[in-house]
Amino acid sequence: ANSAPRAAGPKPAVPGVRAIVAVASGKGGVGKSTTAVNLALALAGRGLRIGLLDADIYGPSLPRLMGLSGRPPARDGRTLEPLTGHGVKVMSIGFLVAEDTPMIWRGPMVQSAIQQMLRDVAWGELDVLVVDMPPGTGDAQLTLAQQVPLAGAVIVSTPQDIALLDARKGLNMFRRVDVPVLGIVENMSYFCCPNCGHRSDIFGHGGARAEAGRLGVDFLGEIPLDIAIRETSDGGTPIVATDPDGAHARAYRAIAETV
Ligand code: ADP
């Protein structure tokens, strides 16, 4: 009864898009969008053509994180042009509604919005389309897993049990719909005091690595809790763009190597 329906037959690819990678989490607020954005920029930094799709219909955050606003231009009355920020093409429902307008939509509307953002957007030729998923295991995840061939999913979690529990559910959902899990990233993995250098494991440490081991998936890397990540992320200038030679950018690039 509690099994996700499987897709029937082959899923049509998105023309011009070579691979679609989902960045997902069980819980909200663990840094999934921040990770998706910085991974996308790290991939673009390798010379790859990258798109970033905001599948979080109820809480789109890519416009803010990428420092983008304005309406995507329509091409022929039907196709929307993505906006470009930091060398990455971006589409989000947030470009189409005011920031404080709630999306009061039922599941089928969410499904069709995601379909349109995949297929009615002039993505052009992309090496990787990174999809920032909403948290959890709902309509958006199922639509994506069933309607397009996903190359894989990256799961983001903080180290504490409550986040890992939900991460495990997300991971099992992808497995059930035959989407390869590329691995788990531990975000907010530890905190180093900028004044004294003392390290605190605010949400614990190493939980995601241990969980990856238990679940038989790769551990992709850890990103510390750092005010610079928060400030750059919320300011629309992701850390990979603002401090490309710093330790955080290197960590995101190392994770991007595994994607
Ligand atoms: P999610 O997509 O999981 O809801 P976000 O990426 O929106 O999470 O992050 C939630 C908040 O935490 C944002 O304000 C973001 O700037 C901040 N944040 C995310 N990762 C880090 C980090 N490693 N260090 C500091 N702040 C972070």
Of all protein residues, the one whose alpha carbon is nearest to atom 24 of ligand 1 is: 225
Q: Is residue 14 part of a domain?
A: no
Q: Is residue 15 part of a domain?
A: no
pLDDT tens digits, one per residue of 109-163: 888 899 999 999 999 999 999 999 998 878 888 888 888 999 999 999 999 988 8
Q: Is residue 208 part of a domain?
A: yes
Q: Is residue 229 part of a domain?
A: yes
Q: Is residue 93 part of a domain?
A: yes
pLDDT tens digits, one per residue of 53-65: 999 998 899 999 9
Q: Is residue 2 part of a domain?
A: no
Residue 163, domain CATH: 3.40.50.300
| Ligand 1 neighbour 157 (Cβ under 6 A) | no
| Ligand 1 neighbour 187 (Cβ under 6 A) | yes
Q: Is residue 154 part of a domain?
A: yes
At 5 the pLDDT is 52
Neighbours of 96 (CB within 10 A): 15
Q: How far is the CA of 30 from the centre of ligand 1 (A)?
A: 6
What is the atom index within ligand 1 of the atom nearest the CA of 189?
A: 23
In total, how many domains does the chain have? Answer: 1
Q: How far is the CA of 214 from the centre of ligand 1 (A)?
A: 26
Q: How far is the CA of 229 from the centre of ligand 1 (A)?
A: 8
Print the domain residue range for 62: 20-257
At 4 the pLDDT is 54
| Ligand 1 neighbour 232 (Cβ under 6 A) | no
Who's near 76: CB < 8 A, 6+ residues apart?
none
ipTM entry: 0.99
Q: Is residue 239 part of a domain?
A: yes
Q: Which residues pair with 131 in a beta bridge?
A: 22, 53
Q: How far is the CA of 34 from the centre of ligand 1 (A)?
A: 6
Q: Which residues are annotated as a binding site for ATP?
A: 26-33
pTM over 0.90: yes
pLDDT per residue, tens digit, the chain (259 aa), is: 455 555 445 778 899 999 999 999 998 999 999 999 999 999 999 999 999 999 999 889 999 999 999 999 998 878 999 999 999 999 999 999 888 888 888 888 888 899 999 999 999 999 999 999 998 878 888 888 888 999 999 999 999 988 899 889 999 999 988 999 999 999 999 999 989 999 999 999 999 999 999 999 999 999 999 999 999 999 999 999 999 999 999 999 999 998 8
Q: Which residues pair with 154 in a beta bridge?
A: 23, 183
Type of residue found at 58 = Y
Q: Please answer whether residues 140 and 114 qualify as being in contact, where contact means their C-beta atoms are separated by less than 8 angstroms.
A: yes
| Ligand 1 neighbour 66 (Cβ under 6 A) | no
| Ligand 1 neighbour 132 (Cβ under 6 A) | no
Tell me how far apart the alpha carbons of residues 217 and 134 are, in angstroms, rounded to a whole number. Answer: 21
Tell me how far apart the alpha carbons of residues 52 and 241 are, in angstroms, rounded to a whole number. Answer: 15
- What DSSP string describes 215-248? HT--EEEEEEE-HHHHHHHHTT--HHHH-TTSHH
| Ligand 1 neighbour 188 (Cβ under 6 A) | yes
